[in-house]
Amino acid sequence: MSARRGYEGVAVAVPVTVPYVRYSVRSAHWWLARALGEALKRSGLKKTDVDGLTVSSFTLAPDTAIGLTQHLGVSPRWLDHVPLGGASGVVALRRAARAVQAGDADIVACIAGDTNHVDSFRLTLANFSQFARDAVYPYGAGGPNASFAFLTAHYMRAYGATREDFGKLCVAQRANALKYPHALFKKPLALEEYLSARPIAEPLRLFDCVMPCAGAEAFLVLSEDRARTLNVPYARLLGAVERHNAFPSDPIQIRAGWALEREALYAQAGVGTGDIDFVETYDDYPVISMMQFEDLGFCGKGEGPAFVRANTFTHDGSFPHNTSGGQLSVGQAGAAGGFLGLVEALRQLTGEAGGRQVAGAKVGLASGFGMINFDRGLGSGAAILAAP
Amino acid sequence: MSTATLTKLVSDLAAGRVRIVDLTQTLSPEFPQISLPPEMGQCWPFRIEEVSRYDERGPAWYWNNFSCGEHTGTHFDAPIHWVSGKDLPGNAVDTIPPENFVGPACVLDCAKESAADPDFLLTVPWIKKWEKKHSRIPPRAWVLMRTDWSKRADPVEFQNYDDTGQHTPGPDVDTVKFLVAERDVLGFGTESIGTDAGQAYHLRPPYPCHYYMHGAGRYGLQCLTNLDRLPATGAVVFAAPLKIRNGSGSPLRVLALVPA
Amino acid sequence: MTQPLIRPKRKNPVLRTRLPTLPPGTRSRVALGLTAAAAEGRFALQVCRDCGAVQYPPREACQACLSVRLDWRAQDGAGALLADTVLHHSNDLFFRERLPWRLGLVRLDVGAAVVAHLHGDVPPAPARVRITARLDRAGQAVLVALPEKETPHMADDRQLREFTCDPKFRKILVTDGKTAVGQALVTALAAAGADLIWVGHTEPWKKFAGFDELAALPQVTLLPLDVTDSKSVREIAAEIGGKVDILVNTAEYHRTFGIGNRPGVETARAEMDVNYFGLLRLAQEFGPAMRSRGGDGQSSAVAWVNLLSIYALANFPLHGTFSASKAAAHSLAQCLRAELRPAGVRVVNVFPGPIDDEWNQLLLPPKVAPEALARAIVQALRDGIEDVYPGDVAQEWLERWRENPKALERELSA
């Protein structure tokens, strides 16, 4: 394999969240427009200064990124539509970083957003993928719940994880969320409530599943020089990886692409797991967060339960994790869920994390996961950012 | 003279001095239809399909298409129907002289005998006894065999099958020959499904009424009803089949004029 | 442990009848290969002709070597249950009405992993299972994981019954009970646990052989029914149509003529009037009520069986006009299938070879015995199969027709 280039000189700045709501009658275009507009406002840039754009959304159809350029009146010289769900954030960041390094674009806006009508979730799932339509939905789950129930049950049996272990992660995330103004969940979650909640698909219960909502997230990618000129707080991109459909011969998913790419990630970033001050995992279900701990090297495969029992995960715990609450406590605004972790990482590294600031945070890791095509998530990626 | 006759007829009808008796069964899909052994061609039963009924198929009208055989329901047999009459002149429903569609009727009441024996055969002695009581059968008259078979409303009883075939009354061989040769009848009519008896296959020749009547250019009527409302003599029957080119018969309306 | 089915309580006529819902029914074209096999009772998967890899979900190119030469091959379904779950929530109306619902993830011994409906007698993972393909209420193939060995009352599993058209405790109309096939079918359906069997017969004045035996069966009610008479069909439908769960159309007019050896069209018209128009009349009069009862509880309206003929696929010139009438009926039956599918009612088309009856007297064996045909139909209902080819002749003609229809045309006119 050829040597990879690093991300020298790439800055990530201007974390934007358009406040989430449970249901919205607006279309995805409205949410994405607000995200871009907010990014411009906070950075002081004009629309014409932004010459690169990535777009991620499930509910933008029939439009893609190109339709949005006319809708929003932008004329980028670099454009990418990134439909990778929870992996969209990391992948958009990787694409934008290379464009900026090559000079194909100077300032790239990476935006993600989705609306949520009462039937959005159902309609999105109905047309999600050919394999899901042919081989999953006929069996009744109406979404990925069954696939993740299988995964969770298998993981519990294979590695001894208990519902209490998953509950610990969820409870900690809720505590973090209470300090995040945009989180839709405002009440603390006790372990007992988590354990006795309404069953969805055994062993998953209500609080193992994200709540779909409407919202948008965004950030800008540009050169460090330009960020300093603009006087916007920024973080440096140390490393970023992606891998899709890793381990196709695993009969059931116990790991994803991070396991194949983590060495390259840490080598590229020039840091080790011990240097990471906080981790934002993609938490569509708590078992996946546990898999990310393993595959990103924080513990060995199958040691997730022990790792969870040995640590605390609030912003001030021994292993600060999903410090804004993760999707499980903030809500999942469609593809914006793939940006949530990166945007929170940015806030942590630029001192904008308010009451949930991880003390002395210098280096953070955000990972993405998504696109449950049939029986497993296909997309995965991770990025390491550092304070300047 | 004829004008006066006709005028009087019209006024007698209006005044009820002459009544009309309808000798016709209603055409409906339920009405029993003759059925032959399966390997032979079959005569269609009456079937009717709605075309429209004040609906999207025709907003202001109701009408049907129907189908049936020439020998369905109350029907007329022309001489061409049988092999013995196939070459006679004027032997199809469209070539029979129309005068032959009107004629006096003699009603032979065999109801009691038929009730006792569904295979009852009308014989010459029986007819002669009838003539003693009522009068000689005039020439060119319809001879109608009243059996009250039309009162059998259940199709199973009307058809009256068992595993030896059908059992319905009819004329025997000598009777038919006698009516043709000695009484010069217009034709023979019955209430059951054939002019011949149900077991006439076993007579010699088989189906003698068809064979000899049609062979002599005479006609048949079957599935008649209301014969019990006719006098033994004196009724005038109108039986005009549809004018089908080269037709062997047709369903028709059979009406009798009867003194009140 | 599957509980044996119990007779449902009498329907409360005051309550609203639940309308039919269907599981998700969209499939890609390549996935319909699974449906094509399940329609005949087979479980097949794509196997790469070049490297032998088994594919699932169905796809256009081999996931191992990218070859596009993928052939559907029968599978024995042996596999290992890796994980199982019970759904307590679904966005889908069909499943919502039937929760809780058991599902499993199974790794087939041949290599592919599949999501499957899980029979109640399969123990929790890990366990050995046997995967089979069935048609679901939407008429599409789904995979079902059954216990490795047969268990008592296995067919009565609540979930498995959603994929079958089991006659047990159902009310059935057999449109012509006069023929040997009709009578064998009535007997077989009674033995299969049907609650009530209406038996149609034409020309009630001609008592047919076997009439008394049929009438003596406690489930049987004989009804005059003539499929050539629209009024007869309409009146019987008005009387019993709202209760018919399974309609088996055995009415058939069969004569042994081609074109040149029977002058006139009368015989051929009679064949069309019974075999084709009879089906049309029955479908128009019985269809609407059956459609509305596709979701009506344990004894819902569930199947419409057409006794066609293998001659419907390729004309048998000795019985040429009969073949043509069966071909017409087949086409119409496909139309009926499309119209009944949205209600979850399965149209089952049966294509026997020559039946051992009077009209096939001059054909040499093998011929299908009426009892064998009846058994095949009852089994098809139990398995939820929709295209049935009973007997050796039907199987052979089907294979010849599929392999080279023009060759079969020549062979039949030799």
pLDDT in tens, A67-89: 999 999 999 999 999 999 999 99
Q: Which helix (H) or strand (E) covers residue A340, if one does?
A: helix A337-349
What's the pTM value of the predicted model, to 2 decimals? Answer: 0.89
pLDDT at residue A125 tops 90: no
pLDDT bin (cut points 50, 70, 90) of residue A141 is: confident
User: pLDDT of B217-254, one tens digit each?
Assistant: 999 999 999 999 999 999 999 999 999 999 999 999 99
Residues B71, B81, B210, B214: which is the catalytic one? Answer: B81
Q: Tell me, what's the pLDDT at B48? A: 94
CA neighbor of A375 nearest in space, from A154, A220, A47: A154
Q: Are A326 and A281 in contact (CB under 8 A)?
A: yes
Residues C218 and C193: their CA atoms lie apart, in Å, by: 12
Q: How near does any CA of chain C get to the CA of A70, in Å? A: 33
Long-range CB pairs of A76-81, under 8 A, 24+ apart, other chains included: A76/A50, A76/A51, A76/A52, A76/A105, A77/A51, A77/A52, A77/A104, A77/A105, A78/A51, A78/A52, A78/A53, A78/A104, A78/A105, A78/A108, A79/A52, A79/A53, A79/A54, A80/A53, A80/A54, A80/A55, A81/A54, A81/A55, A81/A56
User: Which fold, C32-163?
Assistant: OB fold (Dihydrolipoamide Acetyltransferase, E2P) (2.40.50)
Region of residue A274 (phi > 0: left; psi between -120 and 50: alpha; otherwise: beta): alpha
CATH 3.40.50.720 fits C171-412, yes or no: yes
- Nearest residue on chain A to C110, judged by CA atoms? A251
Q: Which residues contact A219 (CB under 8 A, 6 or more apart)?
A: A12, A13, A14, A15, A16, A39, A93, A110, A339, A342, A343, A346
| Cβ <8 Å between C113 and A146 | no
Per-residue confidence at B1, pLDDT binned at 50, 70, 90? low
Which residues are bridge partners to A80 per DSSP? A54
- DSSP H or E segment with residue A60: none
Residue C113 has its nearest CB partner, among A145, A200, A252, at: A252
Residue C288: asked if its preceding bond is cis (omega within 30°), the reply is: no
Whether residue C91 and residue A146 make contact (CB cut-off 8 A), yes or no, is no
| Contact exists between B and C (3 or more beta carbon pairs < 8 Å) | yes
**Inter-chain CB proximity C205 and B158 less than 8 Å:** yes
The CATH 3.40.50.720 domain(s) of chain C lie at 171-412
d(CA A83, CA A80): 10
Element (H or E) spanning B181, and its range? helix B173-181
State how far the Cα of A151 lies from the Cα of C84, in Å rounded to an integer. Answer: 9
Sign of the dihedral defined by the CA atoms of residues C9, C11, C15, C17, in that order = positive
Q: pLDDT digit string (tens) for B50-62? A: 999 999 999 999 9
For a pLDDT cut of 90, what percent of chain A falls above it? Answer: 95
Cα–Cα distance between C55 and C108 in angstroms, integer? Answer: 11
- Residue B87 tokens read as 């070459």
A–B touching, 3+ CB–CB pairs within 8 Å: no
What is the C-alpha to C-alpha distance for residues C248 and B69, in angstroms, rounded to an integer? Answer: 30
Nearest-Cα distance to chain B for C205, in Å, is 4
CB of A130 within 8 Å of a chain C CB? The answer is yes
**Å between B248 CA and nearest CA of chain C:** 16
Task: Check if the beta carbon of residue A331 is closer than 8 Å to that of residue A213.
Answer: yes
- Predicted-complex ipTM score: 0.91
Is the preceding peptide bond at C57 cis, omega within 30 degrees of 0?
yes
- The string of pLDDT tens digits covering residues A149-177 is 999 999 999 999 999 999 999 999 999 99
Query: Do the Cβ atoms of C266 and B42 come within 8 Å?
Result: yes
A128, A150, A155, A374: which to substitute to probe chain C, counting the most C Cβ within 10 Å?
Answer: A150
The mean pLDDT of C29-43, rounded to a whole number, is 97
- Rounded to the nearest integer, the mean pLDDT of chain A is 96
Strands A234-244 and A377-386 come out as antiparallel
CB atoms within 10 A of CB A82: 25
Angle at C189 between CA C184 and CA C193, to 5 degrees: 150
| pLDDT surpassing 90 at residue C117 | yes
C50 pLDDT tier (thresholds 50, 70, 90): very high
Q: What is the pLDDT of residue A119?
A: 87
Q: A199–C84: do the CB atoms touch at under 8 Å? A: no
Q: Mean of the pLDDT values across residues C224-247? A: 96
* pLDDT at B239 (0 to 100): 98
What domains are there in chain B, each with its CATH number?
A: 2-31+70-259 (3.50.30.50)
Is the model more confident about C299 or about C399?
C399
Which residues of chain C form CATH 2.40.50.840? 32-163
Q: Phi first, then psi: what are they for C293, rounded to 5°?
A: -110, 20
Q: From chain C, which residues contact B within 8 Å (Cβ)?
A: 203-207, 226, 228-232, 255, 264, 266-267, 270
Tens digit of pLDDT for each residue in B130-174? 999 999 999 999 999 999 999 999 999 999 999 899 999 999 999
| Residue C369 at interface with chain A, using a CB cutoff of 8 Å | no
- Give pLDDT tens digits for A233-259: 999 999 999 999 999 999 999 999 999
Of C86, C98, C117, the CB nearest to A201: C86
pLDDT digits (tens, 9 = 90+) for C327-367: 999 999 999 999 999 999 999 999 999 999 989 999 999 99
Chain C partners of B39 at a C-beta cutoff of 8 Å?
Answer: 255
User: A and C: touch, per 3+ CB pairs < 8 A?
Assistant: yes
Based on C-alpha coordinates, what's the Rg of chain C? 22
Q: Whose CA is closest to A309, among A293, A322, A325? A: A293
CA distance C162 to chain A (A): 12
CB C199 within 8 A of CB C186: yes
The string of pLDDT tens digits covering residues A277-323 is 999 999 999 999 999 999 999 999 999 999 999 999 999 999 999 99
Alpha carbons within 13 A on the beta-carbon side of B27: 20
Please name the fold of domain A144-210+237-386: Peroxisomal Thiolase; Chain A, domain 1 (3.40.47)
* Residue A1, pLDDT score: 62
Percent pLDDT > 70 in chain B is 100
Question: A117: part of which helix (H) or strand (E)?
Answer: none
Q: Measured between CB atoms, which of C28, C95, C113 is closest to A251?
A: C113
Tell me: pLDDT of C304 over 90: yes
Torsion angle (degrees, nearest 10) of CA A143, A144, A146, A149: -150
For residue A126, name the pLDDT band (cuts at 50, 70, 90).
confident
* Chain C residues touching A142 at Cβ < 8 A: 90-92, 95
CATH architecture, range A10-119+214-230: 3-Layer(aba) Sandwich (3.40)
**Is the pLDDT assigned to residue A272 strictly greater than 80?**
yes
Q: What is the pLDDT of residue B80?
A: 98
Three-state SS sequence of chain C: CCCCCCCCCCCCCCCCCCCCCCCCCCCCCCCHHHHHHHHCCCCEEEEECCCCCEECCCCCCCCCCCCCCEEEEECCCEEEEEEEEEECCCCCHHHHCCCCEEEEEEEECCCCEEEEEECCCCCCCCEEEEEEEEECCCCCEEEEEEECCCCCCHHHCCCHHHHCCCCCCCEEEECCCCCHHHHHHHHHHHHCCCCEEEEEECCCCCCCCCHHHHHHCCCEEEEECCCCCHHHHHHHHHHHHHHCCEEEECCCCCCCCCCCCCCCCHHHHHHHHHHCHHHHHHHHHHHHHHHHCCCCCCCCCCEEEEECCHHHCCCCHHHHHHHHHHHHHHHHHHHHHHHHHHHCCEEEEECCCCECCHHHCCCCCCCECHHHHHHHHHHHHHHCCCEECCCHHHHHHHHHHHHCHHHHHHHHCC
Q: Indicate which of C92, C118, C162 best probes the interface with A, i.e. most A CBs within 10 Å of its own CB.
A: C92
List, for residues B177-205, the tens digit of each pLDDT value. Answer: 999 999 999 999 999 999 999 999 999 99
B81 as an active site residue: the answer is yes
Residue reference for tokens 């009535």: C186
Please provide the size of chain B in residues: 260
Q: Which amino acid is at C244?
A: V
| C193 C-beta neighbours (distance < 10 Å), count | 15
Whether residue A125 lies within 8 A of chain C, CB to CB, comes out as yes
**Residues of chain B with a CB closer than 8 angstroms to some CB in chain C:** 28-30, 32, 35, 39, 41-42, 45, 47-50, 155-163
Q: Report whether the peptide linkage leading into residue C13 is cis, meaning its omega lies within 30 degrees of zero.
A: no
CA B5 to CA B13: how far, in whole Å? 12
CB contact under 8 A, C270 and B47: no
Report the C-alpha gap between C89 and A198 in whole angstroms.
9
Question: Where do the CATH 3.40.47.10 domains begin and end in chain A?
Answer: 10-119+214-230, 144-210+237-386
Compute the 3-state secondary structure of chain A and give helix, strand, coil in percent, each to the nearest 5.
Answer: 40, 20, 40
Query: CB of A265 within 8 A of CB of A240?
Result: yes
Contacts of C103 in chain A (CB under 8 A): 139-141, 146, 149-150, 201
CA distances from B237 to B143, B217, B221 (A): 11, 18, 11
What are the pLDDT digits (tens) for C249-281?
Answer: 999 999 999 999 999 999 999 999 999 999 999
Residue C11 has pLDDT above 90, yes or no: no
Record: contact A153-C83, CB cut-off 8 A: yes
**Strand pairing partners for B104?**
B236
Q: What is the pLDDT of residue B175?
A: 98
Which chains have 3 or more CB–CB distances shorter than 8 Å to chain C?
A, B
Whole-angstrom CA distances from A274 to A8, A14, A313, A314, A341 are: 22, 27, 16, 18, 19
